Structure 1
Amino acid sequence: MLGLVSTETLTADGGTAELRAFLHGLPGVDQVGAEERAARLSTRSIKTSAKAEAIDLAIAMVDLTTLEGADTAGKVGALCAKAVRPDPSDPGVPKVAAVCVYPDLVAVAVEALRGSGVGVASVATSFPSGRAPLEARLADTRAAVAAGASEIDMVIDRGAFLAGDYGKVFGEIAAVKEVCGGAHLKVIFETGELVTLDNVRRASWLAMRAGADFIKTSTGKISPAATLPVTLVMLEAVRDFREATGRQVGVKPAGGIRTTKDAIRYLVLVKEVAGPDWLTPEWFRLGASSLLNDLLMQRRKLATGVYSGPDYFTLD
């Protein structure tokens, strides 16, 4: 258990030498064991009644996302309408957690979602590469927050992380957190570029120490994006971080999660690894664009016995 690590060594200055000593002192990840456990948990079967509850929970955890160069105000407005009423014919379907857009479209989303309770997330900080001067990334964040974003999804500088410049990465996360004000900060690792599960564990602890409210797997722009073994390691990290520090941090797998079966596998993973405290939209999100349609189709199939097909619901 990482709770055995003395929290007295966790200084606030983010010094690279201290961070390197701490991060490389974390227990190594048994990659084969993590993959086997994730695969085993993914085969769990659940009863029909539990499946219905799981689908509604997954819908409520979705960050409905559009991050394309061709995004328009009209597209974002339509996405926001779907976020509030995913199935206009069934008012019992829960709202999604948030809509995620580029910073220049935050104001559109904020206006469309006003009073709905659905959050507005924005991928600031030179998404998806994170390769821009810090001041430009901070300005990006300030603009999104000023426009009304309640959540900021930032990307780390993977080059700096992989080069072992942990102090730089720590400092940049802390700086973005500071300008977020009251907005929650989700820190994206782009785990497909981190290569090893050891690096995923190190990035998780680094981000949490720097002030992340959520840790997030991926931008969805490269493959592999979210995977069950990667998410398992991140869930272990937030569980152990809370035990060591008393602070709870959320987890968001994003990219490649397209089916109801996928979503339910992640919910099982959350319950078995981190525990039921994380089984709420406050602490677990699913970053997705096409997932919601499949959740709605499977929900209707359970309720009516009829499979509606992909064209029944509006396309994202």
Structure 2
Amino acid sequence: MDRYEEMLSRYKTDLDDAQVAAAVEKIVRDNLATNSTPDVYKFLFSCIDLTSLHAEDNTDSITKFTKRVNDFEEEHPEMPSVAAICVYPNFAGTVRANLDVSSVNIAAVSGGFPTSQTFTEVKVAETALALGDGADEIDIVINVGNFLGGNYEEMCQEIEELKQTCRDAHLKVILETGALKTASNIKKASLLSIYSGADFIKTSTGKSEPAATLEAAYVMCQAIKEYYEQTGTMIGFKPAGGISTTADAVKYYCVVKEVLGEKWLTNEYFRIGASRLANNLLSDIWGNPTKFF
């Protein structure tokens, strides 16, 4: 038994998908109405990683995208800013050159995003370049093929190497839960990623289906909680992929609040990856259709 399998042996990873679904249904049923308030909507807005990951992105479009975040702070000082702007790694410098809001971080996807199918050396170089251009946070994807093939050592050592490259920068590790399929796989991948140095674990890239699900979120939050209880290591959670409506976002808030508790209800430990959600939250906060971003 290697150290990764030994670590997994300390946790319950044989999960029943039907029981997970039932637990999620109960959390949403019992808490959605209570948490559907303007204050929660504002909090969720402050947790957004405002994202542009399109094939047609270019320097001009990312510059305009970034300046809208500047404009928002100037025009709506009563509102919190989003947590971060998330872009491809080659645009980290563009965001850095144009972002005026000090509270907003710069996140860059890296490591052969979205498939993670390239050389580890390329992933390290890409990550280092993004950090050198100004990224504060790096979002990578686990090597799903290695995980499903049972090659935990290679998968984990790559995460460890990328965390070393990040140093003090936050490393968000995407599990691509839709490809993992089962609650048991999601629990194992969560624990392995945390053990390997993830500062956040994230559901999905948004580039494959299914993307984020509440069931995956529940299992990932359980893993974060149990790891914290055993080790004292506290890491963050980020659902991403297909979360566009206010109601959807509040459902994820309910899961985080019920499983992890108030301690995680800060944008230091809770993020939402979204591009459309920001406008929908603003529409519900202000009571009229809004397309600011």
* TM-score normalised to structure 1 length: 0.88
List runs of 5+ in structure 1 lacking aligned partners.
1-15, 302-307
Say yes or no: does 1:73 pair with 2:51: no
**Structure 1 position 85, deviation (Å):** 4.5
1:133-144, aligned counterparts within 5 Å?
133-144=119-130
The 8 Å contact of residues 34 and 233 in structure 1, kept in 2 or not, is answered as yes
1:98-177, aligned counterparts within 5 Å?
98-177=84-163
Pick from 17, 22, 28 the counterpart of residue 2 of structure 2. 17
**Structure 1 position 40, deviation (Å):** 1.9
Q: From the superposition, tell whether residues 45 and 67 of structure 1 become closer, same or farther in structure 2 (CA, over 3 Å).
A: closer
**Structure 1 position 22, deviation (Å):** 3.8
Q: From the superposition, tell whether residues 18 and 120 of structure 1 become closer, same or farther in structure 2 (CA, over 3 Å).
A: same
Q: From the superposition, tell whether residues 213 and 120 of structure 1 become closer, same or farther in structure 2 (CA, over 3 Å).
A: same
Deviations 1:50-90, CA, capped at 9 Å, x for gaps: 61110110000000001111101222122223334548653
**Structure 1 position 110, deviation (Å):** 1.1
CA distance in 1, matches of 2:75, 2:26: 37
Deviations 1:162-203, CA, capped at 9 Å, x for gaps: 000000011000000001122110001111101111011001
Q: From the superposition, tell whether residues 46 and 84 of structure 1 become closer, same or farther in structure 2 (CA, over 3 Å).
A: farther
Pick from 240, 246, 252 the counterpart of residue 254 of structure 1. 240
Deviations 1:4-28, CA, capped at 9 Å, x for gaps: xxxxxxxxxxxx7332344366321
Q: From the superposition, tell whether residues 25 and 196 of structure 1 become closer, same or farther in structure 2 (CA, over 3 Å).
A: farther
Q: How many residue pairs were aligned?
A: 291
CA distance in 1, matches of 2:149, 2:4: 13
Say yes or no: does 1:59 pair with 2:37: no
Partner in structure 1 of residue 68 of structure 2: 82
CA distance in 1, matches of 2:34, 2:226: 30
Secondary structure of the structure 2 residue equivalent to 1:284: coil
Q: What percent identity do the matched residue pairs reach?
A: 38
Partner in structure 2 of residue 212 of structure 1: 198
The 8 Å contact of residues 178 and 208 in structure 2, kept in 1 or not, is answered as yes
List runs of 5+ in structure 2 lacking aligned partners.
none
Partner in structure 2 of residue 197 of structure 1: 183
- Please provide the CA RMSD for this pair: 1.7
CA distance in 2, matches of 1:138, 1:123: 12
Of the structure 1 ranges 287-296 and 73-82, higher mean CA displacement relative to structure 2 is found in 73-82
Task: Indicate the structure (1 or 2) with the bigger Cα radius of gyration.
Answer: 1
CA distance in 1, matches of 2:284, 2:169: 33
CA distance in 1, matches of 2:148, 2:209: 18
Q: From the superposition, tell whether residues 30 and 83 of structure 1 become closer, same or farther in structure 2 (CA, over 3 Å).
A: farther
CA distance in 2, matches of 1:244, 1:228: 24
CA distance in 2, matches of 1:187, 1:234: 12
Say yes or no: does 1:314 pair with 2:284: no
Letter of the structure 2 residue corresponding to residue 161 of structure 1 = F
Secondary structure of the structure 1 residue equivalent to 2:171: strand
Partner in structure 2 of residue 237 of structure 1: 223
* TM-score normalised to structure 2 length: 0.94
CA distance in 1, matches of 2:226, 2:55: 39
Partner in structure 2 of residue 8 of structure 1: none
**Structure 1 position 46, deviation (Å):** 3.6
Deviations 1:235-289, CA, capped at 9 Å, x for gaps: 1111111111111010001001001111111111111001111110000100001
